[in-house]
């Protein structure tokens, strides 16, 4: 079912908590754009500035860009934010980087992943109390992929979701507010990847996922954790524009754009989430992050 013609959903508030600038465009961006179009107030929280992000687009790999990467990533974020129609806050932590080598080197001093949880959750508690979202989303406990900042983002969001409504916790950070639902993104799930891979081959196209699927052991129990599939294929184009705004991170000729949008729309027209905590009665499976929230006041 699609939500066309449904009344504007003003008064509803959604908060996505992400690790780096560009995550808001690569995870859940089409449903974000759809909710914005329906009148939901969507706020993105970005834990770090992406300072240690490498330049992943060969066309942008220039010394002048690398020297100013923090500022350039802020500008990219502003463009993506405008395209998606969201408001956004930086939590102000420093990117931990992706540890490379065997054994992995220690994480850089002062980075987000090393900040004690109580301290790292505080600015998010403050924002939750200030902005009063009804729904909060973040990554699963594996981080979606095991980047130290993604795992830390998960931990911080779960902790802040619980603490924000508790008057005993962080008493100086504003009036308590308890969001009603907490979700994890399941954007890179195996069934979706397999379905798109099969469709590419069926159309006589080369699949970008051949190697990944070969090494990806099926985990039916993990896949079964998806509770909520939000139909949002009308907004895949907006998602793509938001991704392209992160020009240092996204190669327009790379894997993100290897699958024709028509195939994506036909094979997997949803973005997928796992409902983890709900303080309202809601039946799963769902097709809407706000299912069960009847009175936004």
Q: Which residues does the annotation place in the binding site for Zn(2+)?
A: 20, 23, 150
Which parts of 179-258 are beta strand (E)?
A: 181-185, 228-231
Buried b / exposed e along 197-219 (16+ C-beta atoms within 10 A)? bebbeeeeeebbbeeeeeeeeee
What dihedral do alpha carbons 123, 124, 127, 132 form, nearest 10°? -150
Count other Cβ atoms within 10 Å, centred on residue 229: 19
Which of these, 24, 28, 13, 20, lies nearest to 135 by C-alpha position? Answer: 13
Separation CA 197–CA 74 (nearest Å): 34
Residue set of the binding site: 20, 23, 150
State the DSSP string of 253-291: TSGGGSS-HHHHHHH--EEEEEEEEESS--PSSBS-TTT
CB 96 within 8 A of CB 148: yes
> Inter-axis angle of helices 148-163 and 117-131, to 10 degrees?
60
3-state class (DSSP) for residue 43: strand
Contact partners, residue 293, CB within 8 Å, separation at least 6: 12, 134, 135, 180, 181, 280
């Amino acid at each position: 079912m699609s939500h066309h013609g449904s009344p504007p959903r003003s008064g509803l508030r959604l908060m996505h908590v992400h690790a780096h600038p560009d995550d808001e465009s690569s995870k859940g961006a089409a449903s974000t754009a759809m909710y914005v179009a329906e009148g939901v107030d969507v706020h993105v929280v970005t834990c770090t500035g992406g300072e240690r992000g490498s330049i992943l687009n060969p066309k942008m790999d220039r010394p002048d860009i690398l020297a100013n990467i923090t500022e350039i990533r802020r500008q990219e974020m502003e463009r993506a934010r405008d395209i998606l129609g969201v408001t956004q806050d930086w939590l102000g932590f420093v990117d931990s980087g992706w540890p490379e080598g065997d054994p992995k080197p220690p994480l850089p001093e002062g980075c987000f992943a090393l900040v004690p949880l109580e301290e790292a959750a505080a600015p998010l508690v403050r924002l939750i109390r200030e902005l009063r979202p009804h729904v909060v989303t973040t990554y699963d406990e594996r981080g979606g992929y095991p980047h130290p900042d993604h795992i830390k983002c998960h931990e911080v969001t779960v902790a802040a979701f619980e603490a924000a409504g508790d008057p005993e916790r962080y008493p100086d950070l504003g009036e308590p507010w308890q969001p009603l639902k907490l979700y994890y993104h399941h954007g890179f799930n195996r069934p979706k990847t397999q379905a798109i891979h099969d469709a590419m081959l069926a159309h006589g196209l080369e699949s970008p996922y051949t190697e990944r699927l070969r090494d990806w052991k099926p985990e039916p129990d993990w896949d079964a954790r998806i509770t909520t599939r939000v139909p949002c294929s009308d907004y895949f184009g907006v998602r793509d524009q938001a991704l392209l705004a992160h020009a240092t991170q996204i190669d327009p000729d790379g894997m993100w754009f290897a699958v024709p949008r028509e195939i994506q729309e036909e094979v997997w027209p949803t973005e997928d989430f796992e409902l983890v905590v709900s303080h309202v009665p809601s039946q799963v499976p769902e097709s809407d992050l706000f299912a069960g929230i009847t009175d936004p006041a």
